[in-house]
Amino acid sequence: MTRLRFTILVENSTHQPGLQAEHGWSVWIEWGEQTFLFDTGQTGLWLQNAQRLGVKLDRLNGVILSHGHYDHTGGLPALGQLPEQAQVFVHPDAFSPKYSVTPKTVARDIGMPEASRAWLKRQGGRVRMVREPWEIAPGLWLSGPIPRLNDFEDVGGPFYLDAEGKSPDPLMDDMALGMMTRAGLVVLLGCAHAGVVNTLQHFSSLLGRPLVHAVWGGMHLLHASGSRLEATMQAFEQYHVQQLGAAHCTGFAAAATLHSRFPGRCFVPHAGTRWEFALP
């Protein structure tokens, strides 16, 4: 039976001996005979964990970057030389300056590290700029920019294009994966800066309103208001989501609330977590 398999290479935590964790997100995806690396965490830790988990990088078909923040792109140089068949998929705005600016802290550069930019430049024409939805393998869709349709969702933090905090970063580079399985649509998020509900609505419209079986990844609900969290949970109910992998930037309080609302359906996919879904 042909399957979709996830292996979490980097997440904020791990319970598996021999693996390490960092604030970041990286997922190895096996889509039938094709393989993809979705984000790379903030260091080369993803590669160390991949080697311990027996992941074979020579089979790599593509690298997918959900957006341009350091904790999703910092591990790119660890890839070294890309296998001949591999491409990189990224939105152009991932290369924009990115800062976190709050009144009580010094502005932090949270954009793509220079070493990662240099690595991407060396790949030349193998870097594919994604400006619209892209079916990168049959049934596996990269969202492209996600329309912002809900007034209760925002980018989820104090994100700016400048260190002075005068130009808000709309994070239009935020992208997700939508994968059609036998059970329904499986959505893999990076940080869901476009909003997890906006993301589900986008894939629902794009793919003919399929049943949403699972949502995995960072949901960026760390600073979400009670009303936003409630609206998000109502949307999960309306989409009949059966599995919620609340990871990375979802936030402890939000993950606990989701776990309470969806008992038996919500969990944290730590580094080392493996899961599979049957494909049509």
**Tell me: the pLDDT tens digits for 17-71?**
999 999 999 999 999 999 999 999 999 999 999 999 999 998 899 999 999 999 9
Angle at 170 between CA 104 and CA 154, to 5 degrees: 75
Considering the entire predicted model, what is its pTM?
Answer: 0.97
Q: Is the pLDDT of residue 1 over 80?
A: no
Query: Which amino acid, residue 137?
Result: A
CA distance 42 to 26: 9
Q: Is the pLDDT of residue 251 over 70?
A: yes
Q: Is the pLDDT of residue 104 over 90?
A: no
* Confidence bin at 105 (pLDDT 50/70/90): confident
pLDDT of residue 131: 98
Q: Which residues of 107-140 are buried (b: 16+ CB within 10 A; e: fewer)?
A: eeebbbbeebbebbeebeeebeebeebeebbeeb
Q: Is the pLDDT of residue 174 over 70?
A: yes
Q: Is the pLDDT of residue 196 over 70?
A: yes
What is the pLDDT of the chain when averaged over all its residues?
96
186-to-142, 245, 269 alpha-carbon distances in Å: 12, 11, 14
% of residues, the chain, pLDDT over 70? 100
CA distance 276 to 278: 7
Q: Could you identify the residue written with the tokens 């609900």?
A: 221
Q: Is the pLDDT of residue 153 over 70?
A: yes
